[in-house]
């Protein structure tokens, strides 16, 4: 092994790139699914106005260590895209 060089073949490089693309697409799909999940949970809670707005807990949106960060970020994205509104006291409802 001493003095031997390891070289990547074109095949190895191709599969490395393909693997990176697949992982990126899967991560993006998980983001979209999480966003859709959050929106559906708010709809299921019938939160369609500031008066009926719900917290994450009331909408049964997970607030665990990993899923909590993901859902919190995706809720912020939904607010930014104007699909969900947030009240002054941090409650969520579906935008019209």
The per-residue pLDDT for range 9-41, each reduced to its tens digit, is: 777 888 888 989 999 999 888 888 889 999 999
Number of Cβ within 10 Å of residue 22's Cβ equals: 10
pLDDT of res. 57 = 92
Ordered domains of the chain (ranges, CATH): 11-94 (1.10.10)
pLDDT of res. 14 = 86
Residue 40 token pair = 């559906």
| Rounded (10°) angle between helices 65-80 and 10-44 | 70
**Confidence category of residue 63, pLDDT binned at 50, 70, 90:** confident
pTM: predicted TM-score of the whole model, two decimal places? 0.74
CB 83 within 8 A of CB 96: no
Instruction: State the DSSP code for 83.
Output: S
Place of tokens 């859709």: 36
Residue 8 token pair = 């990547």
């Amino acid at each position: 092994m001493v003095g031997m060089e390891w070289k990547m073949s074109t095949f190895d490089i191709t599969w490395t790139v393909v693997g990176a693309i697949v992982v990126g697409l899967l991560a993006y799909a998980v983001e979209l699914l999480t966003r859709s999940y959050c929106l559906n949970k708010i709809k299921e809670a019938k939160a369609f106005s500031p008066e009926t707005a719900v917290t994450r807990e009331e909408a049964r949106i997970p607030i665990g260590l990993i899923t909590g960060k993901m859902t919190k970020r995706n809720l912020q994205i939904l607010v930014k895209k104007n699909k969900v509104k947030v009240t002054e006291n941090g409650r969520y409802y579906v935008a019209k």
